């Protein structure tokens, strides 16, 4: 069985972590969750989008060789890191190329109003490392870029049930 790198692209509260948990139940599969790592490595230090970008880039640099090694050893990895920009997806593409693993880019095509409804429920439940305001959602969404065919990913599209 070939190791697979699962990548997640979608706005905040689109369903990425929910799918990550589902995928991680497959045998020989581990999840690496960016938000969990950032919350533990940089508690109280991520106050702005610039802080988030800086800390996230550090984490990506540190984790890439580890992820490649996991994939080369035959483990599948659910990378619960956002794949929401061309730059971030290029970093992920490098992991795919270096490891020789199969991959799937799970793209969540979910309207903002659905994401916001889910975000409010998630915030109220307190089940996530970060509470995100509507303003922060809007700020992060400004940077969201859907994947395009020329990026060369095997894309699986997820849409909410209507």
Residue range 88-142, pLDDT digits in tens: 999 999 999 999 999 999 999 999 999 999 889 888 887 766 677 888 889 889 9
Query: Would you say residue 79 has pLDDT above 90?
Result: yes
pTM: 0.89
Class of domain 4-158: alpha beta
28: DSSP letter: T
Q: Collapsing DSSP states into helix, strand and coil, what is residue 9?
A: strand
């Amino acid at each position: 069985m070939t190791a697979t790198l699962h990548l997640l692209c979608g706005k905040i509260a689109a369903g990425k972590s929910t799918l990550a948990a589902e995928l991680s139940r497959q045998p020989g599969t581990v999840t690496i969750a960016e938000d969990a790592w950032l919350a533990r490595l940089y508690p109280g230090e991520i106050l702005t989008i610039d802080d988030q970008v800086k800390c996230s880039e550090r984490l990506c640099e540190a984790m890439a060789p580890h992820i490649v090694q996991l994939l080369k050893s035959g483990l599948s990895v659910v990378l619960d890191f956002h794949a929401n920009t061309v730059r971030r997806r290029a970093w992920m593409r490098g992991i795919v190329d270096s490891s020789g693993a199969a991959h799937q880019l799970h793209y969540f095509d979910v309207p903002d109003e659905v994401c916001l409804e889910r975000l409010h429920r998630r915030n109220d439940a307190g089940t996530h490392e970060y509470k995100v305001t509507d303003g922060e959602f809007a700020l992060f969404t400004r940077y969201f870029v859907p994947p395009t065919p020329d990026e060369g990913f095997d894309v699986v599209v997820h849409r909410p049930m209507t």
